Amino acid sequence: MAKYVYKFSEGDKDQKDLLGGKGANLAEMTNIGLPVPPGFTITTDACRYYMKHGTVPPELPEQVTAAVDHVEGAIGRSFGDPAEPLLFSVRSGAKFSMPGMMDTVLNVGLNDSSVLGLAAFASNERFAWDSYRRLIQMFSKTVLGVDGEKFSAALDAKKAERGVKTDPELTAEDLKELVAQFKQIVVDSTGAEFPQDTRKQLDLAIEAVFNSWNTERAVIYRRREKISNELGTAVNVQTMVFGNLGDSSGTGVCFTRDPSTGHSGVYGDYLVNAQGEDVVAGIRNTLSLADLKEIDPRSYTELRDAMSRLEQHYRDLCDIEFTIESDRLWLLQTRVGKRTAGAAFRVATQLIDEGLINEDEALERVTGAQLTSLMFPQFDDEAPKTLLTKGLAASPGAAVGEIVFDSAQAIERAAQGVKVILVRRETNPDDLGGMIAAEGILTARGGKTSHAAVVARGMGTTAVVGAEELDIDAAAREMRVGDKVLRSGDVVAIDGTTGEVFEGDVPVVPSPVTTYFADGLDAALALAKDDASRELVAAVDRLVRHADSVRRMEVRANADTPEDARRARAFGAQGIGLTRTEHMFLGDRRQLVEDVILARDDVEQQKAFDALMPLQKADFIEILDAMDGLTVTIRLIDPPLHEFLPDLTTLAVKKALAEDKGQSDPDVDRLFTAVNRMHEANPMLGLRGVRLGLVIPGLFDLQIRAIAEAQAHQVKAGKDPRAEIMVPLVGSVRELAIIRERAEVILAEVGAAAGLKLDIPIGAMIELPRAAVTSARIAEASDFFSFGTNDLTQTTWGFSRDDVEGAFFSDYLEQGIFHTSPFESIDVDGVGALVRAGVEGSRATKPGIHLGVCGEHGGDPESIHFFNAVGLDYVSCSPFRVPVARLEAGRASLEASGYATA
C-alpha cells in the first residue's frame, strides 16, 4: 500500500521532494530535539494524485486517522473531544518556498461544543471564542470560498461599535457575537451551516490546500520563479499551540541574520497575544526581538539558543516561525531564509570564515541572477518619482536623459555631452549608432527578445520595451501617455529592472560591483559608500575568483568593436567567441555593401570591394590588438539581405509619384528593379550567411583577406594575434568545404606575401537543425563549431523571433507550453537535443574539436549549466554578462562533480 502520511519523527531535511520544504524541516527540527508541536505531513505524491484524479487517494483517510491517533497519544487530548479538544493547523508546504501563495487554516477542530471545552480547559473564555471566530473566518474564505471582505467588515464594525482599535481589545462577549455573525455570513453565502463535524473540517482543509496549488497567484509565482507545475504541495497537519492565550503568549518570525544585509544579529518581529497570521497580515504593529527580551527573558534566551542551533545545523541563514504559549516556546517552522542578492554573497563568505562551509559550498549558495542584480545601477528608492507608464524590463539598469526620437539626434546630442534616452516605436539595425550613444532605450513595441532588447542587453544598456501606453509621433518629435505630452528634450528616467518609466530626473546610485569588474578591486572599494558596500565587493571578488579556479569551460565575449573587446577583457573574458562583422558595415559603410550587392558589373563591384578592404583590415587590427594573446572568432558577414538594401516600399512610392507626374528617374527605376528582383518574403531564411558568400563570393573573400592581412600585420608588430574565421548558417558540409578551399588559397597568398605561415582556424556556426544532425560530416571540413542558439531556436521551433513574443508567448506561458521563453533560456528537450547531437556527431569525427556557444544563451545562468553538462569548451556572451557566466560556469563544474545547485 502506498504511504502518503509521515509523522514528523519519520522524515528529515533531505526529503523535500516527498515532504515539501516545510514538512522536511519540521521533521528535522523534531529529530534534533527542538520544541516542535507534534504532527504529520501528507506527501506531495498525494497532491499529485489529487490533481490527476480529482479526489484524494483511497488510502489517505485511513492513514490520516492513524496519524491523528498518534498525535492524540503524544498530546493527551483528542481531536473532536468537546471537553479537552486537540486542534490542528493545516498548512501547505511545497518543495520550493512559495510564501503566501497557498492556503493555511488554523484552529481546525473547533465547533459549537468544543469551543466551550477549550474555554474551560484553558481557563480563558476570550481566547476560545477568538480562536473559533478565526477558524470560521479562515476556513470559510479558504475552503468554502466565501468573500473574506465580509468577515473583515463585520470585525471592523464590531470594533467601531465598541470604540476600540485592535482585535485584542474585544471582549469574550464581543467575540461570541462575532461568531454568530460569521456563521450567518456562511449561511447567507453558501446556503449551508458552518460544518460542525471536526473530521469533515480536517478533510476539507486538506483538500483546500491541495487546490491552492493551482490558484492564479500560485501559478503566476511559479512561472516567475521557474518552478514546475508538476511538483505539487505537501500538507502539514500540526498540533495548534496558541499565541493568543493572553499577555504571556505571542507569536513571531525571526532570522538568524539580517536577510537584507547578511549581518549577524537579532532580527525579527513579535506580537503579544496573537496568532501567526497576525504578523504576516500586518494588522498590528509588531515588537522587536529586543522587546521580547524584556517581556519574556526566558523564552527569548531559548529562542536565541534555537536560532544558533539551527544556523549551525543548516549552515545557513535560517527563517524561523515561533509561538510562545503561556511562557513556553514552540517552533512552528524553519527554512533556509530568502535574502537579497547582496546578503547572499555576504552570508556565503561569512560562513566560510566561521568554518561552517567551504568555498565550494559558498559558491553553490550564490547565483548568476543575484550577481546580475548587483551589477546594474539603480534608482534611489528614497527619491520622489512620477510614474508615466510601465513596459517590459528588457535590460537592467537605471538611465536618465533627454528624449530623442531618432538615431541621428541621439548621436548629435550625445556628442554635445547630453545624456539621452532613445525613444522609438521599435528599433532596427539602422538605429545602432543612436542605441550606442543613448543612456537608455525605450520602445512602444517589442518583447524581451526584440531587436531593442537583445542589442541593449548585449551592450549593457538599460532598456524598457513594449510600453504599449506610449503613443509616439517621431515626425512631430513627441510622445503621449494619456493626456500627458512629452517632447524632444524633455527628461525621462527608465528602470530596466522593473520596466517603470518616470517623468523627470531621478537620482541614480552606482554599483561598486560593476566598478570592481571594470576597474579592479581597489577602484571599487574606493567607490563603495559604506562598510556594507565594501564587504559586498570583497565577497563578490572572493567568490568569482573561486569560480574561475574551479570552472572547466572558458568564458568568452561577443564583441564587435575595440571598445567592446577591451571592456570584455577587463570583465574577465578569455577571448572573443563572436565578432559580428555585419555591424561594422552599418552607418556610412552601408552604402558600400549596397553597392556590392546591386553592382551592375564586376567593375562596379570591385570598386566597392576596394573601398571596403582597408576599412575591414583596420577593424580587425584594432580588435586583435585589444585581445592580443586571446582567441578572436570572427564571423563572416551574416545579415538578412534586406538590411543592406533600400526599402522596396519607399522605392515603389518614389517610382509611382514620378510616373504620376509623367517623369522618370533612371536611378530609382534601376534600384526598384534590382531590389524587387532580390526581394524576399522571409529574409531570415533567405540569401544570408554562407549562401551570400557563395552567390557573391567576393564579399567573403574580401573579409577573409582582411582578416589574414590583419593577422600578418600584428605578427610583424611582435604581437600574438589569434584570429579564427567562422562561416555562418552552414547547413551542408559542401557549403563549408567550398568556402574553406577559397579561404586556404587566400591565407596562403597573404602569408607568402608577408613571409609568414598563417595558421587561422576555420569553423562553422551551427544554427540550423540540419547542421546539428549532420555534424559528423560538417566536422570533416571544420576546425571548430560554435552553436548559434538564437537562430537554432528560431529554426527549431519555427518561430520568428521578432514577432512571436508579443503575439502569443504570454498564452504559451499561461498554458504551460513552456515555463520561460526559449530565447531566454535553452530549450533543453528540443534545441538542447540538437546541441547534444552536434557535440556527439562532431566529436565522433574529431574527438578534439573545439566547441562553444555564442547565442544569447551563452550568458544565461540555467543554460550555462546545460552547456557544461554536454561538454562544450566555452560559452560566449555580451561583455556585461561575462562576470555572470564566469560565476555560473564555476557553479556548473561543482554541479557536475556532485554539488546540487541552489
| CB crowding 267-305: b at 16 or more within 10 Å, else e | bbbbbbbbbbebbeeeebebbebeebbeebeebbebbbe
Average pLDDT over residues 68-76: 95
Average pLDDT over residues 251-260: 86
Q: Which triple of cell numbers denotes residue 806?
A: 508579443
Longest dimension (CA), the chain: 106
- Name the pLDDT band for 337 (thresholds 50, 70, 90): confident
Whether pLDDT at 878 is above 50: yes
Q: What is the pLDDT of residues 619-655, one digit of tens each?
A: 999 999 999 999 999 999 987 766 777 777 887 888 7
The one-character DSSP state at 807 is I
Residues 6+ apart with CB under 8 A from 870: 832, 835, 836, 839
584/564 Cα distance (integer angstroms):
13
Judged on CB neighbours under 10 Å (0-12, 13-18, 19+), 752 is exposed
844/839 Cα distance (integer angstroms):
8
User: Count of alpha carbons within 13 Å of 157, Cβ hemisphere only?
Assistant: 10
Name the catalytic one among 47, 854, 865, 877. 854
Which contiguous run of DSSP H or E holds residue 280?
A: helix 276-281
* Neighbour tally for 652: CB within 10 Å: 14
Q: What is the pLDDT of residues 387-406, one digit of tens each?
A: 999 998 888 788 999 999 99
Task: Point out the least confidently predicted range of 35-49, 303-317, 586-600.
Answer: 586-600
- Name the pLDDT band for 587 (thresholds 50, 70, 90): low
Average pLDDT over residues 707-713: 98
| CB crowding 809-820: b at 16 or more within 10 Å, else e | beebbeeeeebb
Active site residue 877: no
> What does the mean pLDDT of the chain come to?
90
374/513 Cα distance (integer angstroms):
6
pLDDT at 668: 77
- β partners of residue 851: 785
pLDDT at 285: 62
Q: What is the pLDDT of residues 742-751, one digit of tens each?
A: 999 999 999 9
Whether pLDDT at 701 is above 60: yes
Average pLDDT over residues 86-112: 91
Active site residue 819: no
Say if residues 771 and 778 touch (Cβ distance below 8 Å): yes
Whether pLDDT at 364 is above 60: yes
Q: Which triple of cell numbers denotes residue 566?
A: 577591451
Least Cα distance to 98 among 43, 42, 22, 27 occurs for 22
**Higher per-residue confidence, 37 vs 286:** 37
pLDDT at 565: 95
Name the catalytic one among 254, 451, 546, 713. 451
154/147 Cα distance (integer angstroms):
12
Average pLDDT over residues 365-376: 90
Whether pLDDT at 71 is above 70: yes
pLDDT at 282: 45
Q: Which triple of cell numbers denotes residue 801?
A: 523571433
Residues 6+ apart with CB under 8 A from 229: 214, 219, 222, 816
Least Cα distance to 696 among 612, 760, 618, 780 occurs for 612
Q: What is the pLDDT of residues 130-168, one digit of tens each?
A: 999 999 999 999 999 999 889 999 999 999 999 998 888
pLDDT at 650: 81
pLDDT over 90, % of the chain: 67
54/473 Cα distance (integer angstroms):
54
Residues 6+ apart with CB under 8 A from 454: 790, 856
Whether pLDDT at 863 is above 90: yes
pLDDT at 7: 97
Which contiguous run of DSSP H or E holds residue 793?
A: helix 789-797
The one-character DSSP state at 510 is P
Q: In Å, what is the CA distance from 682 to each residue of 404, 796, 889? A: 31, 16, 37
Whether pLDDT at 902 is above 60: no
Which residue shows C-alpha cell 549608432? 433
Say if residues 368 and 452 touch (Cβ distance below 8 Å): no
- β partners of residue 108: 88
863/827 Cα distance (integer angstroms):
9
